[in-house]
Amino acid sequence: MFTAIKDIGSRVFGGYAQLLRIPHTARFAVGSVIACMPFPMVGMTMTIMTQQYYGNYSLAGALCAVQAIAGAVLGPVLGTLVDRFGQRQVSIPTIVVWMCAATAFVSCVLAHVPEWILFCIVPFLAAVPPWGAMSRARWTYLMGNDRQGVNRALSLSGVFDEAMWVVGNPLASTLAVISGVLSFSFTGACVLIGALMFLTELTTCSPSQTQLAAREGMTRAEYRAREDERAKRKRALSARDDARAAARSRGESAEAVERAGREAEEKALSGHKDSIWGPGLVAVCATWFGLGAFQSAAGISIVAFATEAQMKQYTGFVFACFSISSLVGALLYGAKNWRIPLWKRFYFCLAVVNLGIGSFMFARHLWVIMVIYLVIGVCQSPTWGNGNQLMLHLVPQSRFTEGMAWMGAMNAIGGSMGNAVAGVAIDHAGSRGGFAVVTGLALVSLAIALCGIKQIKASTETPVLTEISVTPEGAEEVAEAQEAVAR
């Protein structure tokens, strides 16, 4: 029996083990997770501390909203800078800013300063390097053209992300109730440890646009223009092949087939595709806006619900159940080589998450919410993983971090709206008012996502745009990494 269990485990999780056996990958993957601790901990710590010292949820929701908006503005900027100049060059000064802001925020809350001072400090708490995007960029660089390897690596990143939330949420609620200083101190220590692990590992770091351009004797602008042109050409070739296949299926002559392919190719090349913003990326970002809105509203509503039930100390464990379930979903989802089209998987998982969280309005006990989280959580990480995979089809490799940052930015903007609206509803109607907002936002979010189904479906039928062209200097490193995966 033990042998059978071991064999099943090897088949299901052996792919993850192969990835982590690639030299130095475990170091940067784990380091990015540890450095990401501000994401699960700071928002909840801010909410609990503000409610304790200032006594209202509207202020807590507004502060979280301001932080989210600042993150939405800063995220794409940091992602663009990372792609252009490199991960270390951007991350180190960003970490210094965050540490100073965290110290100032805790000091001001304890001193019960006027509220406007908190609003001045909170935007600087959004100065967090895009660790997740940078880690995923390293994986896509190492995997090269191995699409199954990229899929598994992105799922592994989702597993590590969920592990962070599993640990971070209970810690945030427990430590913040004891002391906000303790919670922020722990978060700061994680940021420093994780940053050292991640940023000192240079062998797996994907080259920046500056480095790639220098290797080929180009300016950065010239290099970006060339990469955009390559992406445009791939889309044109895909349009040509699709048009030819459609013409053949209609039984047209060989001459008509060629003419249809030529016309489709010319039409695709005539479009302006220099920007990464196409209909598919707009659809994904709009979906992530709605996802952030109702999930953030659910978070602050659950805190209010637990407070009313005198169970605030258990709030983090409820969120941890969601993360544990999501972690299991990420493990199982990434272990399978799916044949179901990506867009179908994306919409199925998204619908389960939206409708499940939308049902919180009917819960009468905190443990009921926990059970719902356990059931629907298996689709949470796959939803994000599917979104990451969609991004592989929408932006070129040299701008992958930027594309991921835009997706995260829209999620943060949606989260800020959800926090602000839910905070006001809770102050006026209690946690039930907050859950009513959650249900409304969840349904609207699903409707927004369905409006983009045509664009998202079409995007998965084009060539993957993150196929990288390896320079002679980088070819040996990627080859070694792929050989390690094969072994």
Residues 262 and 279 in one domain: no
CB 149 within 8 A of CB 392: no
Residues 49 and 101 in one domain: yes
Kindly tell me the burial class for residue 242, based on how many C-beta atoms sit within 10 Å of its own C-beta (0-12, 13-18, 19 or more). middle
Looking at residue 110, which CATH number applies to its domain?
Answer: 1.20.1250.20
- How far apart, in whole angstroms, are the C-alpha atoms of residue 377 and residue 348? 13
For residue 471, the 8-state DSSP code is P
Residues 187 and 248 in one domain: no
Residues 362 and 251 in one domain: no
Q: What residues have CB less than 8 Å from 255, skipping those under 6 apart?
A: none
**pLDDT at site 202:** 79
Tokens of 179: 């002391």
CB 380 within 8 A of CB 322: yes
Q: Which domain holds residue 382?
A: 9-206+275-465
Phi, psi at 208, each rounded to 5°: -80, 170
Residues 231 and 369 in one domain: no
Residues 263 and 298 in one domain: no
Q: Would you say residue 1 lies in a domain?
A: no
CA-based torsion, 413, 400, 159, 155: positive or negative: positive
- How far apart, in whole angstroms, are the C-alpha atoms of residue 247 and residue 191? 56
Q: What residues have CB less than 8 Å from 114, skipping those under 6 apart?
A: none
**pLDDT at site 481:** 42
Would you state the torsion angle of the CA atoms of residues 133, 134, 138, 139, taken in this order, to the nearest 10 degrees? -30
Planar angle of CA 317, 319, 321, nearest 5 degrees: 70
- How far apart, in whole angstroms, are the C-alpha atoms of residue 90 and residue 79? 9
**pLDDT at site 396:** 64
Alpha helices in 271-379 (DSSP H): 279-308, 315-335, 342-358, 366-376
- How far apart, in whole angstroms, are the C-alpha atoms of residue 58 and residue 44? 14
Q: Would you say residue 4 lies in a domain?
A: no
Residues 59 and 197 in one domain: yes
Tokens of 201: 């590992």
Q: What is the crossing angle of helices 342-358 and 380-394, to 10°?
A: 140
pTM of the model: 0.61
Q: Map residue 456 onto helix, strand or coil.
A: helix
Residues 387 and 313 in one domain: yes
**pLDDT at site 462:** 54
Q: Would you say residue 310 lies in a domain?
A: yes
- How far apart, in whole angstroms, are the C-alpha atoms of residue 133 and residue 230? 23
Tokens of 83: 């792609």
Kindly tell me the burial class for residue 106, based on how many C-beta atoms sit within 10 Å of its own C-beta (0-12, 13-18, 19 or more). buried
Least Cα distance to 464 among 402, 369, 413, 388 occurs for: 388
- How far apart, in whole angstroms, are the C-alpha atoms of residue 303 and residue 154? 31
Least Cα distance to 227 among 466, 33, 482 occurs for: 466
Least Cα distance to 65 among 287, 297, 407, 282 occurs for: 297
CB atoms within 10 A of CB 450: 14
Q: Would you say residue 18 lies in a domain?
A: yes
Tokens of 66: 């301001």
pLDDT tens over the chain, length 487 residues: 556 555 555 555 566 777 778 888 888 888 888 888 777 677 777 877 887 788 777 787 788 778 877 877 887 788 778 877 888 888 899 999 999 998 899 888 888 888 889 899 999 988 888 887 788 878 877 777 676 777 777 777 767 776 776 676 667 666 766 776 777 888 888 889 988 988 888 777 777 777 777 777 777 777 777 777 777 777 777 777 777 877 887 788 888 888 888 887 777 676 544 556 767 777 788 888 888 888 778 877 888 888 887 777 677 778 778 877 887 887 777 666 677 888 888 889 888 988 888 888 888 888 888 888 888 888 887 887 788 777 777 776 656 667 777 777 787 778 777 877 887 888 888 888 888 888 888 888 888 888 878 777 776 665 555 443 333 344 444 344 444 433 3
Residues 150 and 190 in one domain: yes
Q: Provide the number of structural domains found in the chain.
A: 2
Q: Would you say residue 319 lies in a domain?
A: yes
Q: Would you say residue 138 lies in a domain?
A: yes
Least Cα distance to 330 among 107, 80, 156 occurs for: 156
Residues 114 and 233 in one domain: no
Q: What is the DSSP string of 374-413?
A: HHHGGGHHHHHHHHHHHHHHHS-GGGHHHHHHHHHHHHHH
- How far apart, in whole angstroms, are the C-alpha atoms of residue 416 and residue 70? 9
Residues 45 and 143 in one domain: yes
Q: Would you say residue 481 lies in a domain?
A: no
Q: Would you say residue 68 lies in a domain?
A: yes
Tokens of 304: 């209010």
Planar angle of CA 124, 126, 131, nearest 5 degrees: 135
Using CA atoms, how far residue 21 sits from 24, 149, 203, 254, in Å, is: 8, 13, 14, 50
Residues 240 and 290 in one domain: no
Tokens of 279: 């209909």
Least Cα distance to 141 among 203, 230, 233, 93 occurs for: 203
